[in-house]
Amino acid sequence: MPDQEPAITAEQIAAAETLLGLSFTPAQREQMREIISGRREQYENLRAADLDKSVPLSLNFNVNAADPAPAAVPRAYPMSAQPQVTRPDHLEDAAFLPVTQLAELIRTRQVTSLELTKMYLRRLKRYDAALQCVAAYTEELAYEQAKRADEEIARGLYRGPLHGVPWGAKDLLATRGYPTQWGAAPYVGQQLDVDATVVERLEEAGAVLIAKLTLGALANGDVWYGGTTKNPWDTSEGSSGSSAGSGAAVAAGLVGFAIGTETMGSIVSPSTRCGVSGLRPTYGRVSRYGAMALSWSMDKIGPMCRSVEDCALVFSAIYGPDGRDMTIGSEPFHWDPALDPKALRIGYVESAFEPEAADTDDPEKQELYRDHLENSVTVLERMRGLGFEPIPIALPDREIGGMWTILAAEAAAAFDQITRDGSVDQMKRQDDSAWPNVFRAARFIPAVEYINANRLRSRLMQDMARVMSEVDVFIVPSHGGNAMLITNYTGHPTVVVPNGFTRKGSPTSISFIGGLFKEAETLAAAKSYQDATDWHRQHPDLEAALAQRDDL
């Protein structure tokens, strides 16, 4: 955008409102000015792209308006050999066990599901005071499901490794009989008379839902109507978002596992901040029926757990078509914990591991970036020590800033009603980058720019297809190399695992990103690293977290 081009004025916004049949206040127009003015540069980038007529939209039009029939997919739950697990003298000592070991305690009837459910509920109620990670308890349902699990297991009906394991749902997944409030004041008290497909499928697997966990308001950040969800390792920090409560609760040993969602970093970021393992599946793998929509072309649902193998087991239960979400494919997921990942072509984003990757003009961020980079470099060293020979690769060098138009426009459409009726003003965050301002400013995005942003997305998808023709999985610092942004636009799966701590004691992570529908291979590569480390077996001092809260 030329330097001399004047900024958009409030008067110009008011005139555009007249054309669009909208009405905003003078203060709201003033707040929107920076976003709308800045978007002109994004539009210039979109218009400068060489989009010939052969480049299609990255969205598919389906002439069949009926929901697709659900397709049968394999649901096997193979597990790697586990060390012998015995009931601890104090059951709370089992709080940080992974699902694989909780499952053995339940399967061998050393521990009942009801006992675990009561233990985790006690922990939730004790530590939520410090973490602010619970949106609503589902206690009555939990006791009912736990008792049913114990009765079934006593009769010899064992559904698999999730049977009887307590879990938490990000509070944008509808659960009949309980509030689903999306983290936002306009929806406090909302009850939806359906169960999300993910909730149904986990109930079919025998899992026990004990709580709805917080999310940043309307899936943005870690600030919700009740406060800010905290990082269990350092409660002076937020837990990052938007799957804030899911990350905090898993890290703090308050649930056996949790479900999160991601549109643009909402599994990867809180998994990193809280030190848990997360799987962001390929787009179109897990039904979003009953889940709050933010961006129809980008939203994804996945597990957040204490180990990579736990993620594989949970994903086995929730993936596949349901006859309700028309974006879901029927590609099978075959988890093989014995798969030799050395048979895979493993790459790494070379530029993201170079010293310059930590450079920043912000002195407060310099040390943080350096810590993340140093821990990422040790991952490559460890992988080489395990016998891997990572191949250097480069991600597409394409201007992607204009593609933010896609998320902004779709999110604004999803919440058009509360923007126009003014109830969006009830939300706790009202700063320039918060949703209320973004929603209002998005009403001025031209439809042509939204369509061309999606056409550029098609180009990016083709670029990534060429990259993934060279490797099966690649490694990258979780917030490095633009990888998280690129692969959320292109729909590739990511497994994020803890890989150390900053000098201040907060966790860091590394990401393994795979080809489309290659969750099994991506999980196998990540598991090979995780099995050679113990970062995932470390956990925060929650009594210190309570004390830290009392001192604030």
* 266 is annotated as an active-site residue: yes
Tokens describing residue 228: 């800010």
* 469 is annotated as an active-site residue: no
Q: Residue 445's closest CA among 486, 402, 399, 398?
A: 402
Q: Residue 184, Cβ neighbours under 10 Å: how many?
A: 27
Q: Residue 116's closest CA among 247, 206, 245?
A: 206
**Do residues 492 and 516 touch, judged by C-beta distance below 8 A?**
yes
Q: CA 336 → CA 2, 314, 423, 425, 467, distances in Å?
A: 55, 14, 49, 49, 25
Catalytic residue among 239, 242, 316, 511: 242
Catalytic residue among 113, 118, 170, 478: 170
Q: Residue 140, Cβ neighbours under 10 Å: how many?
A: 10
* 236 is annotated as an active-site residue: no
Catalytic residue among 266, 271, 287, 316: 266
CA gap 294, 307 in Å, rounded: 28
Q: Residue 498's closest CA among 301, 349, 311?
A: 311
**Do residues 168 and 213 touch, judged by C-beta distance below 8 A?**
yes
Strands 223-224 and 227-228: antiparallel
Unique residue bearing structure tokens 């006992």 = 115
Q: Is the dihedral of CA 81, 83, 84, 90 positive or negative?
A: negative
Give 359's Cβ-side CA count (13 Å radius).
6
Q: CA 16 → CA 9, 13, 410, 441, distances in Å?
A: 11, 5, 20, 11
Known catalytic residues?
A: 170, 242, 266
